Amino acid sequence: MAVESSTKKTNNFLGGKGAGRGGSLRLQSLTKIFETHGGGGQVAAVDGVSLDIPPNQMVTLLGPSGCGKTTTLRIIAGFEQASSGKVWLEDKDITNQPANRREMAMVFQSYALFPHMSVFENIAYGLKVQKTNREDLKARVAQAMKLTELTQYANRQPNQLSGGQQQRVALARAIVIEPKVLLFDEPLSNLDAKLREQMRVELRRIQQELGVTGVYVTHDQAEAMTISDLVVVMNKGRIEQAAAPREIYQRPASRFVAAFIGKASFLPGKVREVQENMVVVEVLGQSWRVFNLGGQLQQDQDADLVIRPEGVILGHPGEQPLEGRITLLSYLGPVIEYEITLNGGAALAVTVSVLGQEWLPGLGEAVSVGLVETALAALPG
Ligand SMILES: Nc1ncnc2c1ncn2[C@@H]1O[C@H](COP(=O)(O)OP(=O)(O)OP(=O)(O)O)[C@@H](O)[C@H]1O
Ligand SMILES: [Mg+2]
C-alpha cells in the first residue's frame, strides 16, 4: 500500500517528536460475509463492528483465532471490501477508496521484504513508487533507519539480518511513507518470546514518537495490554468490549473477556442486593459486596463472582471463610500459581508472591481461602 504522492508535503513527521500526524478512524457497522466453498454456506467473519479510534492512538484488535481480526484490518486497509458498513478516515468516507490511496501502511507477520534489495532499497521502495525526489528520499530513509536503529545495516540484504532486524526493516518501510494510519497484523509472531517483548516496547515507542494512529492485531493478550491505548476484544466477528487495558482487566464486560484477559475463576451465586454500581452476591454461604459489571445484575438473579488470581488470600485451615485443598501447583520463580479445589468442588486459580511469604502450602495440603472484595466483580451467571 502506498500513499499518493500528491498528498505529500515536506514536514517533520519522521524527525519530530510526537509530530501528531495520525488520522482518526471510524468503523461503522462493518460486516463481512464470506461464501464458503462446497456447501454454499456463509460465514460472518465480521459482524456489525462499530468503533471510533481517536488520532495518534494505538488500538489493538484482540481475540482468538478466527474471530475476524485480520478481516477487519484488511477492510480498514482496503484489501477487502466490506459486505456492508463504512470506513471513515478523519471526515472522509473511504469505504470505496482503493488501498493505494488510503494513506495507510501495513506491517505483516511475514516481513514481505524484497530479498534481492538492500535494507536501504527496501525502505526506499515506497518513496520510489511515489517518485519522491532523490534528496528527499535519502533524507527520509535515513530518518526511518535512525528511528528503527538500522543505520549500520543500510547495505545488507534481508538474508544477512536476524528476524528482529528484518521486522524493523518492514516497520521502517511502512513509516517512511508517512502514513496517517499504521496497520499491524501479528507483526511479532515469528520472533522468539524475549525478542517479542523487546520489539513491542520498540514499536510502542516509535508509534508514540511519530504520533501516528496504529491498529494492531494480535491474539496475545500480554502484547495487547502493553502496547495499546485501547484494547478491542473480539469474539465471533463481534466486539465484546473496547476499553483501556486496565479497565478491560478490572472491569471485564462479559465472561468471555474476563476469561480471555488474564486468569479468572468463576464461582456461582445469587444476587441478594443491588446498590448503585455494587451488588451483594451470596456465594458458598458467604456474602460479598462487589462491582456490578456493566450494571447488568438484578435482585435474585444468578450471578458469577469473578475472581482474579491475585485477589485470593491463603490461610491455614480455619483462618479464612472458605476451606479447600491445593490440587495443582506451578512454581514460576517470583510467584507460585495454585489451583485450589474448594469444599463443594469449585476450583480457584490463585497466584501467590513468594517474597515475604513465611508459609507456602504444598500439593495436597488443606488450606482456607479469603477473597479481597475490591478485587472481585460479578457478572450474570
Ligand atoms: N477468504 C475467505 N473465505 C472464506 N472464509 C474466510 C476468508 N477469510 C477469512 N475467512 C473466515 O472468516 C473468519 C475470520 O477470519 P480472520 O482471518 O479474520 O480471523 P483472525 O481473527 O485474523 O484469526 P487468526 O488469529 O487465526 O489470524 C474465519 O472463520 C475464517 O475462516
Ligand atoms: Mg489473522
Task: Going residue by residue through the chain, which has 381 residues, state the pLDDT in tens, using 9 for 90 and above.
Answer: 544 333 344 445 665 544 567 899 999 999 999 988 776 789 999 999 999 999 999 999 999 999 999 999 999 999 999 999 999 999 999 999 999 899 999 998 887 899 999 999 999 999 999 899 999 999 999 999 999 999 999 999 999 999 889 999 999 999 999 999 999 999 998 888 888 898 899 899 989 988 999 999 999 999 999 999 999 999 999 999 999 999 999 889 999 999 999 899 999 999 999 988 899 999 988 899 998 887 789 999 999 999 999 889 999 999 999 999 999 999 999 999 999 999 989 999 999 988 888 889 999 999 999 999 888 889 998
Question: Does any ligand 1 atom lie closer than 6 A to the CB of residue 68?
Answer: yes
Q: Which of 33, 42, 67, 76 to mutate to test the pocket of ligand 1 (most atoms within 8 A of CB)?
A: 67
Q: What is the pLDDT of residue 110?
A: 83
Q: Which of 43, 108, 233 to mutate to test the pocket of ligand 1 (most atoms within 8 A of CB)?
A: 43
Whether 277 is covered by a domain: the verdict is yes
Instruction: Give the ligand whose atoms come closest to the C-alpha of residue 63.
Output: 1
Instruction: Order across the sheet with 58-62: list the strands.
Output: 104-107, 181-185, 213-218, 58-62, 230-235, 238-243
Q: Report which secondary-structure segment, H or E, holds 278.
A: strand 278-283
Question: Does any ligand 1 atom lie closer than 6 A to the CB of residue 43?
Answer: yes
- The residue whose CA has the least distance to atom 31 of ligand 1 is 66
Q: Apex CA 296: angle with CA 295 and CA 297, to 5°? A: 105
Q: What is the pLDDT of residue 13?
A: 60
In degrees and rounded to multiples of 5, residue 329 shows phi and psi of -150, 125
Per DSSP, what are the bridge partners of residue 378?
292, 305
Cβ–Cβ under 8 Å, residues 253 and 294: yes
Q: What is the pTM of this model?
A: 0.88
Q: What is the pLDDT of residue 260?
A: 93
Q: Apex CA 264: angle with CA 258 and CA 269, to 5°? A: 90
Specify the residue for cell string 482496503: 78
| One domain, residues 102 and 225 | yes
Instruction: Give the ligand whose atoms come closest to the C-alpha of residue 220.
Output: 1
- CATH number of the CATH domain containing 326: 2.40.50.140
Whether 129 is covered by a domain: the verdict is yes
Whether 258 is covered by a domain: the verdict is no
Whether 74 is covered by a domain: the verdict is yes
- The residue whose CA has the least distance to atom 25 of ligand 1 is 65
| One domain, residues 85 and 49 | yes
Q: What is the pLDDT of residue 366?
A: 97
Q: What is the pLDDT of residue 356?
A: 82
Query: Which residue range forms the structural domain that includes residue 294?
Result: 263-380
| One domain, residues 232 and 280 | no
- CATH number of the CATH domain containing 154: 3.40.50.300
What is the tally of structural domains in the chain? 2
| One domain, residues 114 and 190 | yes
- The residue whose CA has the least distance to atom 17 of ligand 1 is 70
| One domain, residues 179 and 93 | yes
Question: Does any ligand 1 atom lie closer than 6 A to the CB of residue 218?
Answer: no
Question: Does any ligand 1 atom lie closer than 6 A to the CB of residue 109?
Answer: no
| One domain, residues 133 and 157 | yes
